[in-house]
Structure 1
Amino acid sequence: MVEVLILVLFLISGGATGWMGVHLLPQEMLDDVTDVQRVRLGLTGLGTGIGLVAGLVFKRLRLQLMQQVRTMPTDLLISRSVGLILGLLVANLLLAPILLLPLAGGVTLVKPLAAVLSNVFFGVLGYNLAEVHGRTLLRLFNPTSTEALLVADGVLTPATPKILDTSVIIDGRIRGMLACGLLEGQAIVAQTVIDEMQQLADSTNLEKRAKGRRGLKLLRDLRDTYGRRLVINSTRYEGTGTDDRLLLLASDTGGTLVTADFNLAQVAQVKEIKVMNLSELVIALRPEVQPGDELLLKIVREGKEESQGVGYLEDGTMVVVEEGRTLIGSRQPVVVTGALQTPTGRMVFARRDKNGHKNNRSSKGSKSKAARSDSRTDSPEEQPST
């Protein structure tokens, strides 16, 4: 209804401008015209067409502006508004001498044209400058703010909002990241993510239903814990799926997409969108294992090759042990021979440390012998009297 009203207003304004604009034409031109009424109708039609085009453009700009306002951080919204106001103020100050000039005839059309062009130019210029240097602009209003000084000097980087994917909400790792302070700024949950978790919670599949309920419960707990820091974005973007809508949201807000989906992270990087892949983060935080390191590893299952056994480190890294199939279920000393980094994780290769195993048994035997000798050579006070 609002869009239709906007179009009607622009049509009426354009038609009225064309109808009344016939008086702005030079008198010499009107003297050469035999039918002024036809010229008036022509100008009215032209003005109506221009008003229709302007209304459609304004409608699209209004939708984009409303989407940005709903998802834009408060400080950026304030800085852009101040920049726009300052740009319009400068435009009108520079325009005042032009409007006071005594122009005659058709030259008077320069005044409204200059007013429109100057307001558009300086308004857009102030908006863009505030977008780039908005933090510095806010520093003028609060020069004693320590954060404003650090941001203006480039020492402190402003935190970007974090847009949460369904995968990081369901697996629960986002709770620990927020608690440890690894994620700064606002955590944005898109409406499409909530809808997807609701569909999972209503599914007839027990596993999907459990995931959906776990994700909704986690969001409720995060809301109770962090309050306004958790933002629910109600903007409904057009797209073929949740991933497309999340990419549009991240592009509009300039935030960082937090996901555990490898494919979604790759698409975000192709579109030059900031992304934090939790799988890559986990890999980066794992302790480094170098060739030659000795490990005491429990071999739990068979490997792909005939003689291989497989074990796991404490962080979940898979270790393939050569000639370890016959030792499944036992804990054996192994020596790392190499590592392979893959997009989905890291794989470590090792071999049995036979010398270490013998040394281990010999050390155990020496310890037992030493214990027996210590028991035989007790102190005189502890020996029984004869």
Structure 2
Amino acid sequence: MLDAIIIFSFILAGAGIGFYGVELLPNNTLEQVTSLEGLSLVTAGFGALIGFAVGLTAQTGYRRLERQVREMPVDVLLSRSVGLVLGLLVANLLLAPIFLLPIPIEFAFIKPLAAVLGSVMFAFSGISLADTHGRALLRLINPHSVETMLLAEGTLKPSTTKVLDTSCIIDGRIEDLLGTGFLEGQILVPQFVLQELQQVADASNDQKRVRGRRGLDILNRMQENFPERILIHPADYEDVPTVDAKLVRLAQEINGTLLTNDYNLNKVASLQKVVVLNINDLAQAIRPAYLPGDTIDLKIVKSGKEPTQGVGYLNDGTMVVVEDGNPYIGDELCVIVTGALQTSAGRMIFARPEATVVA
């Protein structure tokens, strides 16, 4: 029913504009028309057709917007609504003095133009701020909520916004990490990171170009799968020369957490008191610890340093040296861990084929 009302309203509006719009034609044109009523009916018909097309477009857009609003989480919808209202309120307060200025009549269009542009700009800014700090905004609206009381007591810590760097996007593990639900809070992708990613994708070097395009594909999938959490932020700093320095400055300004797998950026950010989450540190921390006696299904891929040794690799890249494993090169077998060694280059595990282990 609503769809029919929308389309019929545009048809009626188009027909009315076409019917009465004839009167706006120049007098010399009207004098050449034999039947003004017939011309009005023709223009009304054309206006109705155009109104029907515009009505279909408006109806489709309305249904798409309605579907997005229904799928949107309640807290995001509420925070965006409040951000929109606050943005429009600020726009009206700031634009009020403009309407009091004595502007000449030939420049009268400046006032409505400034009102429209200012309202759009501040409304968009309000929604963007609500996306970034939505939970804090909701706590201001409802200071007596359970979450607010727990935050006041120090029992609950608020989730901080995560600032994503280029290397972390290209690495790709952030997509899987988001899918697990262990990473909370808003994920912020600065515009300058997106520009750097595009430069890598356009590089003349084939390897860099492949990595850049892979990063763009990963970012697109993340936006499709987590549209309410991934936010492209327009922040940029013309006075800061490098992307790493811009990332640290943005994280400092919003009191956010820097998400990276770049060792040097990690150290620089830590020195400037920026909280850093390193994907490599996380992977190292959750790497399974194999103790003597544990069994592993392993494929022997090459010979070791000793003639009898075979070498295989775990999924995380850990090298496993298998005694008496040389005859099994190319085969997958069950081995039993006999020991482990941590070196500066990484971890190494020693094992024997299960069949050769003596009890």
The CA deviation at 1:203 is: 1.4
Deviation at 1:307, TM superposition (A): 5.1
Q: SS at 1:227's partner residue?
A: coil
SS of residue matched to 1:176:
helix
What is the CA–CA distance in structure 2 between the aligned matches of 1:178 and 1:147, rounded to whole Å?
23
SS of residue paired to 2:211 = helix
- Structure 1 residues 340 and 278: CA distance shift in structure 2, 3 A: farther
Match of 2:19 in 1: none
Tell me if structure 1 keeps the 8 A contact 2:130–2:137. no
- Determine the structure 2 residue equivalent to 1:209: 209
1:231 is matched with 231
Give runs of aligned pairs for residues 43-82 of structure 1, distance below 5 A: 73-74=132-133
Tell me the distance in 2 between the aligned counterparts of 1:304 and 1:250.
Answer: 48
Deviations 1:341-361, CA, capped at 9 Å, x for gaps = 4677533222455534x89xx
2:282 corresponds to: 281
Native 8 Å contact 1:71 1:253 kept in 2: no
> Greater shift after overlay, 189-198 or 310-319?
310-319
The code of the aligned residue for 2:174 comes to I
CA 1:256/1:305 → structure 2, altered by over 3 Å: closer, same or farther? farther
Q: 1:112-261 counterparts in 2 under 5 A? A: 138=140, 142-237=142-237, 238-261=239-262
Structure 1 CA distance for aligned equivalents of residues 345 and 230 of structure 2: 29
Question: What are the equivalent positions in structure 2 for 1:362-377 lying under 5 Å apart?
Answer: none
Q: State the partner residue of 2:3.
A: none
- With over 3 angstroms needed to count, the CA separation of the structure-2 counterparts of 1:339 and 1:263, relative to structure 1, is farther
Pair 1:314–1:153, CA change in 2 (3 A): same
Aligned position for 2:291: 290
CA RMSD in angstroms comes to: 3.3
Q: Deviations over 1:104-161 (max 9, x none)?
A: xxxxxxxxxxxxxxxxxxxxxxxxxxxxxxx6xx3xx524322212212222210001
Aligned to 1:347: 348
CA distance in structure 2 between the partners assigned to 1:344 and 1:277 by the alignment: 19
Q: CA deviation at 1:305?
A: 5.8
- 1:151-172 per-position Cα deviation (integer Å, ceiling 9, x unaligned): 1222221000111111221132
- Say whether the 8 Å CA contact 2:287–2:316 is kept in structure 1: yes
The DSSP-based 3-state class of the residue aligned with 1:160 is coil
Equivalent position SS for 2:245: helix
The alpha-carbon distance between structure 1 residues 77 and 151, as it changes in their structure 2 partners (threshold 3 A), is closer
Give, in angstroms, the shift of residue 322 of structure 1: 3.7
Query: Whole-Å Cα distance in 2 between the matches of residues 343 and 277 of structure 1?
Result: 19
With over 3 angstroms needed to count, the CA separation of the structure-2 counterparts of 1:216 and 1:355, relative to structure 1, is: closer
Are the structure 2 counterparts of residues 247 and 304 from structure 1 closer, same or farther at C-alpha, using a change threshold of 3 Å? Answer: farther
Q: Number of aligned pairs? A: 232
Measured after TM superposition, the shift of residue 314 of structure 1 is 4.1
Within-5 A mapping of 1:323-362:
323-341=324-342, 346-353=347-354, 355-356=356-357
1:320–1:350: 8 Å Cα contact kept in structure 2?
A: yes
Cα 1:143–1:273, aligned 2, differ >3 Å: closer, same or farther? closer
**How far has the Cα of 1:300 moved from its partner?**
0.6
Say if 1:327 and 1:225 are closer, same or farther in 2 by CA, change over 3 A.
closer
Alignment deviations for residues 353-384 of structure 1 (CA, whole Å, 9 cap, x no partner): 5534x89xxxxxxxxxxxxxxxxxxxxxxxxx
Whole-angstrom CA distance in 2 between matches of 1:313 and 1:248: 39
CA–CA separation in structure 1 for the residues paired with 2:269 and 2:135: 23
Query: C-alpha separation between the residues in 1 aligned to 2:266 and 2:234?
Result: 23
Unmatched 5+ residue regions in structure 1?
1-65, 80-134, 360-386
Q: Which residue of 1 aligns with 2:269?
A: 268
CA pair 222-75 structure 1, distance change in 2 beyond 3 A: closer
Matched, 1:300 2:301: yes
Write the distance in 1 (CA, Å) between the matches of 2:285 and 2:240.
33
Q: Is the 8 A contact 1:166 1:193 kept in 2?
A: yes
The Cα of 1:185 is off from its aligned counterpart by 1.1
Aligned to 1:318: 319
1-structure distance, mates of 2:327, 2:356 = 18
Structure 1 residues 295 and 210: CA distance shift in structure 2, 3 A: closer
- Kindly provide the amino acid, as one letter, of the partner of residue 276 in structure 2: V
2:252 partner letter: S
Offset of 1:198 from its aligned partner? 0.9
Cα 1:216–1:241 shift into 2, 3 Å: same
* Residues 1:291 and 1:217: Cα distance change in structure 2 (over 3 Å): same
Q: What 5-or-longer segments of structure 2 have no aligned partner?
A: 1-124
Q: Label 1:340 to 1:265 Cα distance change in 2 as closer, same or farther (>3 A).
A: farther
Tell me the alpha carbon deviations over residues 191-225 of structure 1, each in whole angstroms, 9 at most, x when there is no partner: 22111111112112222222222222332333333
> Could you tell me which amino acid in structure 1 is paired with residue 251 of structure 2?
A
1:299–1:327: 8 Å Cα contact kept in structure 2? yes
Preserved contact between residue 72 and residue 253 of structure 1 (Cα < 8 Å): no
Distance, in Å, in 2 between the alignment partners of 1:314 and 1:282 is 12
How do 1:91-110 residues align onto structure 2 when only pairs under 5 Å count?
none
Distance 1:343 1:190 in 2: 35
Larger radius of gyration: 1
What code does the residue aligned with 1:212 have? G
